[in-house]
Amino acid sequence: MQPIHLGPIDGAILLIYFAFVLGIGFVLKRHMRTSTDFFLSGRLIPAWVAGLAFLSANLGAQEVIGMAASGAKYGIMTSHFYWVGAIPAMVFVAVFMMPFYYGSKARSVPEYLKLRFDEKTRALNALTFAAMTIFSSGISMYAMALLLNLLLGWDFSLSIWLSAIIVLLYISLGGLTSAIYNEVMQFFLIVAGFAPLVFLGLRDVGGWSGLQTRLAAVSTAHGFAPGAFTHSWKFMGSAADNPMGVQWFAMLMGLGFVLSFGYWCTDFLVMQRAMAAESMSAARRTPLVAAVPKMFFPFLVILPGMIAIALTQQHGASGFSLPAKPDGSPNYDLVIPMMLGHYFPPGMLGLGLTALMASFMSGMAGNVTAFNTVWTYDIYQAYLRPRASDSALLWMGRAATVVGIAVSVAAAYFAAHFNNIMDLLQLVFAFVNAPLFATFLLGMFWRRATGHGAFLGLISGILAAAFHHGLTQPHGAITLAKGGWLGHVLHVYPSEMAQNFWTAIFAWTTCFVVTILISLVTRQQKSDDQLRGLVSSLTPRTTEEDVAWYKRPAALGAFVLFLALILNIIFW
Amino acid sequence: MKVFDLRFPLGWLFAVLGLLLVLAGLRATPTADARSLGININLIWGVVMIAFAIVCLWLARREARRRDSNVTRNE
């Protein structure tokens, strides 16, 4: 494909954005006096800022590019990642789990595990988490460099090093506050850059009804009922009837319960934003503030994919079609950039590209800030230099930022082998995160759960995930990276997505059962006094009497769930 | 120590970018508009972004003033 030509105004918009990003870092530098300032923003962030950052930190390459790609591949069903997945999990963490995270005064999620269980459980979580964040940040960079190369003809290495250096500067200067502030700016930029794109695209296909008609043709061409791309629930009775190849139970349990709760309720990348909130009440509102815009994001990131595939189906009659990959299939990852180039004149094009760059960089920044905190508090201070002074920790945080980014650059070069970023990330999350939610659930709501139980439960959960993946395959798999690497395939799933959801279900169940069994036969090492504030039954209920009723988590949570329910019904 | 209000940089960024888009929109040629389905998207969206910027800056200033007056009253 022909690289898109950028006008001077597009370059100017991009440069102005970079200047603001770095400017925020420089101004914040003088506020970074202690390690708490650097890693937890001094616990001074208001709820609306923490909430938008909570949403935005997760809005990296995998979200924007991956969701648009999935929208083109699977249609409106992709919105289950939001309406069944993210939203209920965000309400749950706000209402039920935040009192223990924030109330325990733990500085990180692994530190909570140490307080609640023991040292080895924390070490396992800290090490896997550190590895995973670096990996994700590398993927984010890789995706960006690849896109910019295809789209603008920029050099792959140049894009990687440029974004790495900008992120490095603003985080090592301004720490978590800098990352959070930039994430919120990025949120508004993404909305500003993509909303007009969706408007133009939708107008071009003739509105929602026009889109339905055209996607009916796509649907039948794939051998499904005409409405399979535009209904989220109607065709979930059997895995064979919908493009995702997932049946409703796997969707509700695998994605809705295990994967989403595993991510939104335990991942320190997002939880760090809530832990930085200015009060318990603000921390509990953080995920709820995030949930409201989150549930409308399908219209910004999934709809473009559906529009793109509908237009491509007409064989370029409208002048738009997705470029093909070398093997002849459409290159779904190019949905957003191709549409930007197709609909936006110079000016808006610059804004759209800036939104894209912003999302890549803050995806990276989110990972890097989570990494430097876990490294410094949970690995360096915990095992290497327990008596490190606060200024040594602050120094280490900056050093970890440099090392973390250097390793993610290496990971970016390494990540080049996989085509659908989303599926790969889901796979990694399924192995590491899926069992984790069972550990937190038991840890927070069952005081009898022991350290040995939690540790062995986690290990067996991760192993169960690996075995399940090794013994099954998605339909049409050609590489062992997709499963079946144990040499014997017990079951073939209709799609990779279905396989991932079931991997998660097996991992979670194994961890849940093993943790309970081991806990029952081992002694609780922690006294009730040590567990106060960490376990539900030993913690006084947080009262929110001083907060207006509409600001209370339960009321807000109910409102959020009600909105999500309406969306599910509309796009049934 | 309280750091600066995020709405200041946010507002200024959107004001500057909005202004650039409006300028591009005013100089738009029919061929550029043809791309965006005959709509002068630069002009319209530039104005929207400037309006957003004004709201942001206004809210941030209002709060800064309120905080200042609280400080003087306490002294």
Task: Indicate which CATH number applies to the domain containing A52.
Answer: 1.20.1730.10
**B34-70 pLDDT per residue, tens:** 677 777 788 888 889 999 999 989 998 888 888 777 7
Q: Do B42 and A348 touch (CB under 8 A)?
A: yes
Say yes or no: A355 contacts chain B, CB-CB below 8 A: no
For A:188-207, CB contacts with B below 8 A are: 188, 192, 196, 200, 203-204
Q: How confident is the model at residue A48 (pLDDT cuts 50, 70, 90)?
A: confident
| Closest CA of chain B from A491, distance in Å | 49
Q: How far apart are the first and last CA of chain B?
A: 18
- Comparing CB atoms, the residue among A9, A49, A343 nearest residue B36 is A343
Say yes or no: B33 contacts chain A, CB-CB below 8 A: yes
* DSSP for A539-551, written as a single string: SPPPP-TTS-GGG
Say yes or no: B5 contacts chain A, CB-CB below 8 A: no
Q: Cβ distance A169 to A22 under 8 Å?
A: yes
- Average the pLDDT over each of A314-318, A328-332, A407-411 and give the range with the smallest value: A314-318
Q: Cβ distance A439 to A511 under 8 Å?
A: yes
> ipTM value of the model?
0.90
> What is the distance, to the nearest Å, from the Cα of residue A290 to the centroid of all Cα atoms in its chain?
13
Shortest CA distance to A163 belongs to which of A10, A61, A267, A270? Answer: A61
In this predicted structure, the answer to whether residue A537 has a pLDDT above a threshold of 70 is yes
In a domain, A353, yes or no: yes
In a domain, A315, yes or no: yes
Say yes or no: B70 contacts chain A, CB-CB below 8 A: no
- Comparing CB atoms, the residue among A177, A185, A348 nearest residue B45 is A348
In this predicted structure, the answer to whether residue A422 has a pLDDT above a threshold of 50 is no
Contact list, A20 vs chain B (CB under 8 Å): 9, 12-13
Q: How confident is the model at residue A481 (pLDDT cuts 50, 70, 90)?
A: low
**A266-322 pLDDT per residue, tens:** 888 888 888 888 888 888 888 888 888 888 888 888 888 888 887 877 655 566 777
Contact list, B3 vs chain A (CB under 8 Å): 28, 31, 44, 177
Pick among B42, B43, B50 to test the A interface (most A CBs inside 10 A)? B42
Q: Cβ distance A180 to A49 under 8 Å?
A: yes
Chain A nearest-CA residue for B11: A185
pLDDT at site A398? 86
Structure tokens at A448: 């009898």
pLDDT at site B75? 46
Structural domain span for residue B57: 7-74
For residues A112 and A456, give the distance between their C-alpha atoms in angstroms, rounded to a whole number.
17
Mean pLDDT of A86-104: 86
Domain total of chain A: 1
Strands (E), A149-307: none
In a domain, A515, yes or no: no
pLDDT at site A551? 74
Q: Cβ distance A419 to A252 under 8 Å?
A: no
pLDDT at site B32? 63
In a domain, B27, yes or no: yes
Structural domain span for residue A295: 8-25+45-418
Q: Do A44 and B2 touch (CB under 8 A)?
A: yes
Mean pLDDT of A355-375: 86
Residues in CB range of A296: below 8 A, 6 or more apart: none
β-sheet bridge partners, residue B13: none
Alpha helices in A85-155 (DSSP H): 87-92, 98-103, 109-116, 119-152
In this predicted structure, the answer to whether residue A496 has a pLDDT above a threshold of 90 is no
Say yes or no: B47 contacts chain A, CB-CB below 8 A: no
Mean of the per-residue pLDDT values for chain A?
82
In this predicted structure, the answer to whether residue A45 has a pLDDT above a threshold of 70 is yes
Tally of CA atoms within 13 A in the half-sphere of A370 that contains its CB: 35
Instruction: Give the CA dihedral A559, A53, A536, A520, nearest 10 degrees.
Output: 120
Contact list, B6 vs chain A (CB under 8 Å): 49, 181, 184-185
| Closest CA of chain A from B72, distance in Å | 22
Q: Do B35 and A344 touch (CB under 8 A)?
A: yes
Q: Cβ distance A177 to A41 under 8 Å?
A: yes
Q: How confident is the model at residue B15 (pLDDT cuts 50, 70, 90)?
A: very high
| Closest CA of chain A from B51, distance in Å | 12
pLDDT at site B67? 79
Say yes or no: A45 contacts chain B, CB-CB below 8 A: no
Structure tokens at A120: 């080895």
| Closest CA of chain A from B69, distance in Å | 20
CA angle, B21 then A296 then A80, to 5°: 135
> What is the distance, to the nearest Å, from the Cα of residue A208 to the centroid of all Cα atoms in its chain?
28
Shortest CA distance to A110 belongs to which of A39, A57, A47? Answer: A39
Q: Do B3 and A44 touch (CB under 8 A)?
A: yes
Pick among A17, A338, A348, A349 to test the B interface (most B CBs inside 10 A)? A348
Say yes or no: B11 contacts chain A, CB-CB below 8 A: no
Mean pLDDT of A384-412: 86
Shortest CA distance to A41 belongs to which of B9, B67, B2, B10? Answer: B2
Mean of the per-residue pLDDT values for chain B?
81
Mean pLDDT of A47-58: 86
Shortest CA distance to B49 belongs to which of B74, B28, B20, B70? Answer: B20
Q: What percent of chain A has pLDDT over 70?
A: 92
- Comparing CB atoms, the residue among A188, A346, A348 nearest residue B10 is A188
Q: Do B10 and A196 touch (CB under 8 A)?
A: no
Shortest CA distance to A285 belongs to which of A551, A562, A558, A59? Answer: A551
Contact list, A23 vs chain B (CB under 8 Å): 9
In this predicted structure, the answer to whether residue B73 has a pLDDT above a threshold of 60 is no
**A135-168 pLDDT per residue, tens:** 888 877 887 888 888 888 888 888 888 888 988 8
Say yes or no: B35 contacts chain A, CB-CB below 8 A: yes
In a domain, A503, yes or no: no
Q: How confident is the model at residue B23 (pLDDT cuts 50, 70, 90)?
A: confident
For residues A41 and A33, give the distance between their C-alpha atoms in angstroms, rounded to a whole number.
10
In a domain, A461, yes or no: no
Higher pLDDT, B24 or A546: B24
Burial label, A249 (beta-carbon count in 10 A; 0-12, 13-18, 19+): middle
In a domain, A435, yes or no: no
Residues in CB range of A555: below 8 A, 6 or more apart: A549
Domain total of chain B: 1
In a domain, A519, yes or no: no
Structure tokens at A245: 């190849």
Say yes or no: A9 contacts chain B, CB-CB below 8 A: yes
In a domain, B68, yes or no: yes
pLDDT at site B72? 59
Q: Do A16 and B25 touch (CB under 8 A)?
A: no
| Closest CA of chain B from A68, distance in Å | 20
pLDDT at site A421? 56
In this predicted structure, the answer to whether residue A417 has a pLDDT above a threshold of 70 is no
Chain A nearest-CA residue for B30: A345
For residues A492 and A243, give the distance between their C-alpha atoms in angstroms, rounded to a whole number.
16
Q: Cβ distance A291 to A86 under 8 Å?
A: yes
In a domain, A565, yes or no: no
| Closest CA of chain A from B6, distance in Å | 6
Pick among B12, B29, B33, B45 to test the A interface (most A CBs inside 10 A)? B45
**A25-41 pLDDT per residue, tens:** 888 888 788 887 777 77
Q: Cβ distance A399 to A405 under 8 Å?
A: no
Amino acid letter at A33? Answer: R
Say yes or no: A21 contacts chain B, CB-CB below 8 A: no
pLDDT at site A200? 86
For residues A81 and A12, give the distance between their C-alpha atoms in angstroms, rounded to a whole number.
36
Pick among A45, A205, A351, A357 to test the B interface (most B CBs inside 10 A)? A351
**A201-250 pLDDT per residue, tens:** 888 887 788 777 777 777 777 777 777 677 777 767 676 777 777 777 77
| Closest CA of chain A from B25, distance in Å | 8
